[in-house]
Every structure is written in C-alpha cells, then in structure tokens.
Amino acid sequence: MITGVSANLMWGDDNRTLYYVENDPKTLLTKRVKTHVLGAPVAQDRLVYEEKDDTFYMGVGRTRSDDYLCIGVSSTVSSELRCTDADKPGEFKVLAPRQRDFEYEADHLNGRWVINTNWNAQNFRIMTFADGQPWGDRNRWQELVPHSADVLISGVTLFDGFMAISERSGGLQRVRVRHDDGRQEFVKADESAYSMGVSVNAEPDTDWLRYTYTSLTTPASTYEVNVRTGERKLLKEQPVLGGFDKANYVTERLWATARDGTKVPVSVLYRKGFEKNGQAALYQYSYGSYGSSSDPGFNGNVLSLVDRGALYAVAHIRGGQEMGRSWYEDGKLLKKTNTFTDFIDVTDFLVKEGWAAPDRVAAMGGSAGGLLMGAVANLAPEKYTAIVAHVPFVDVVTTMLDESIPLTTNEFDEWGNPKDKVYYDYMLSYSPYDQVAAKAYPSMLVTTGLWDSQVQYFEPAKWVARLRAKKTDANPLLFRINMEAGHGGKSGRFQRYRERAEEYAFVIERLGLPAAP
C-alpha cells in the first residue's frame, strides 16, 4: 500500500510502472513524483522529481498523443512543464523554464506542441513548435492564435484536424472550433446567460466534439456536435426531481455600474410571473478571488428560494476572470477592495432597478467568498438583512504572516506579503476580523469544519467571537462547526442537501419568505 499521495496518477507504456505524486506529510503540499513497479516493494519506489519551491503545486499526465509523460508545476503567476518519451522514459526535460509572470500549458499531437501562454499576451495566445526543435527556448515558438484584448483563452483540446478552444468573452464561457486549415466557428448557445466548456474527449481521431452546457434555467447537460456537419446531439442531462419544468423559469444577463464606472455583469434567475416592483427578496452570491469565475450554472437547490418568490443573482465581480485577465488583476493585491465594492454596487443596482426590496436582501459566499462576506458586512451592514459565510477566510493578516500554514506562501501573489508594510496596511484595511466595529450587523450564519486544512476552524471562531463582543444589534449570529467536515463540507451523498436545508431555513426565515412554495 502506498499512502500519503495526491489523487493524480499516470501509467507508463509498460502498463506496470505507475507514476504518482507524494504529498508532504505535514503541509499536504505536492512535493515529489515517484514511480512504483507493480509487484515490487514500495521501499524500492524511485524518485523522479522533487519540487523545492513550496509556492508551486504539481501534477502528472500524458500528452494527447500519448508520446510523452509530463510533470507540470504551477504557482499563482508562473508554470513549468517537463516531459520524457513515453516509450523510453528517461530525463524529464523542461519545455520552457519557469519565470515570474510567465504561464503556459502545453499539449502534443500529430508531431507538434501546442502551447497556451500569457507570454506577451495578458489574455493568453496559442503558439506551436514542431517535433525536432530544441526544447527550452520559447523564442522558437510560432504564433497560431493571436492575443485579443476582449477574449481570454482558458484552454485548448487537440483533435485530428481541429482544436477546441475554451475561452471567455463578454463575461461568458464559449467554445471556439479552429480547423487546421484556418476555418473557425463557435459552438452555438441557446440563452443569453450560460456556461459552456469542453467535456471529456478521450480520443482525438473523431469529428465529434463533446461539450458541457448549463445555465441558471438549464440543468447540466453534455452535448456532442459534429464539427464537419454541425449536427448536435444531447447525450445527458442532469435529472431534477420535484416536477421541474424549465419553462417556469427565466434567466437574464444584466449590467450594473460600479462606483468607478466599470460595468459589472450580473446573472439573475426568477420564476415566470415575477413582478419587478421593488418588493421581492434577493439572494445574491459571488466568489471573486484567484481568477475563479462565478459562472451562471444550474443550481437545483436555489429553486426552493425562487419558487417562494425570491430573485437569485450571481454577481460576476472583479477578482474572477469573467471579463478577461484584467478582471482578475483588478481584484487582487492592492486592488482587492474592488471585489467588495463591486458586490455592494450590484446589490444597490438590483434594489434601485426594482428587482428587490432594500430590506429583503441576503448574501452568501464561501472560503475566499467568505472573506467577501466579512468585508461586505463591515463596509455596508445596513444593506443586508442576512449574510451566510461558509468556511470564511477572515483573519487575513494573521494568517498571511504565519508561513507555517501550508497555503500561506503560495498566496503572496494573490493577497500580498504582509511583511511588506504597503501590503500589511492594505490587507489590514479590509481584513474582516480586524475591521469588526461596535455597530449593528446583519443576521449572520457562519459555518466551518474542524478538519479544514485550507481555512482552519479557529479563523471563523475568532471572527464570530469578536463580532459577538462588539456588535450593537440583537440580530442572531449563528455559528456551526461541523466536527466531521473539512473545507468542502461533510462527506456523504446526501449530506450537502442537509447543509443547504439548514442554510435556506435561515434565509427563508430572515427574508420573510413563505414556509412552502
């Protein structure tokens, strides 16, 4: 038995050699790649590569061509790929050496490498180089798809004769098909607000591209489209119990104006018959960190609120990448407060335009989105009736000063290093724990898990204790520590439904929604 490994494995061509990533036993960070030969003692496993820099995460995989075995490492602002021949494994050679602010992903098929990179391209561009050229010199790469200021290229999947490009434009995900002869077309969408991505396509020698599609009204679906004929087939759709009928719901894409004039996209969901009269309850969600976008995907749970007359809104605030890489850059480090003010400005917009009542607004976020909730609670408590913060990262300065915590050094490029006074002062100015004041706060539900290694339980515990000591209101402040859960909640097929029911019971009561739809 091999223990202490990550869920990332790769087989060698001999079908007997297994490559695996070993975690550090204390920090759980990915540290070493080793090989295990079936039938051999684990003690004889050979070290292939060890990553010395704790700011990098690591994984292994085969190229699309199956010609190469690769080890990839990445940090917040840089990446590096090293590969070896799959049929005769030897030294893992570096495709392009790591460099700060240089990111790339690469794959191989039909005698060429295809690289998606931000080298001289903030929103990334696609480049290639052919077999037989020396590795390690990116100046030999040739541009295939140029950079665009309006389109973020997030991934490339290679096929015989074409490639599927995952990208973001206008705040939405889409899939572009680029044929090897230069022809291009987009996979069609059926709604104005949706989320689309390339699905699992196990084999490259096909004309059929599988992709996923979802929206706030459309359950997660898998389609395939023939890139030669345009024929489309629905392969699978997420079942929704309880008599769900898509025709009963409406989704729209709105644009809110932030206080600095920036247009912020907002996706909303409501039931047909909804009246935009300024009386409805609003449940607003976002995340807004790490370049992770809050895409408008189907959430069957939230129908429980929508069926009771509430408006559900996803705010695509800065800190994600909905509007391109600059959207992320404008919501991190010394621009982090844009994330918080965008969220508040979206709330103001929805109330002003009559989508919601000013005294019936609830907000929810988790992890770094819990930081968002804490900051919003400090900045504009009067605008929210209730706030739900799951596993919230709220003691920002103290945590980022403690380099013994596994995630701290990895995240200096996201939040800043507080040992630098400029970053210390800025982080202190919005850190939810440090900014708690003697004033009225909304009703709040805060949850965490005892075994959370990403945001350890004592962060929200400290925050809740400080809130209870300082707040001047009589609103409930509920705190739940799940003694059997980690960062993603308790395991178990149905446990997540129990957790959502607990959350929604709180929200329904606070917003004055009817007990039954």
Active-site positions? 367, 452, 487
By residue count, the chain amounts to: 517
Nearest to 411 by CA among 367, 354, 466: 367
| Cα angle for residues 152, 62, 289 (degrees, 5° grid) | 35
In angstroms, rounded to a whole number, what is the distance separating the alpha carbons of residues 353 and 368?
Answer: 28
C-alpha 318 chain-centroid distance: 13
- Cα–Cα distances in angstroms (integers) from residue 68 to residues 20, 34, 139, 380, in the given order: 16, 16, 22, 53
Contact 347, 364 (CB under 8 A): no
In angstroms, rounded to a whole number, what is the distance separating the alpha carbons of residues 208 and 159?
Answer: 10
Q: What tokens were used for 294?
A: 């809050």
Instruction: Tell which phi-psi region holds residue 416, choosing left (phi > 0), alpha (psi between -120 and 50) or beta.
Output: left
Nearest to 312 by CA among 325, 324, 303, 321: 303
Beta strands in 75-120 (DSSP E): 79-85, 93-94, 104-109, 112-117
Question: Edge to edge, what strands does the sheet with 68-74 contain?
Answer: 57-62, 68-74, 79-85, 93-94
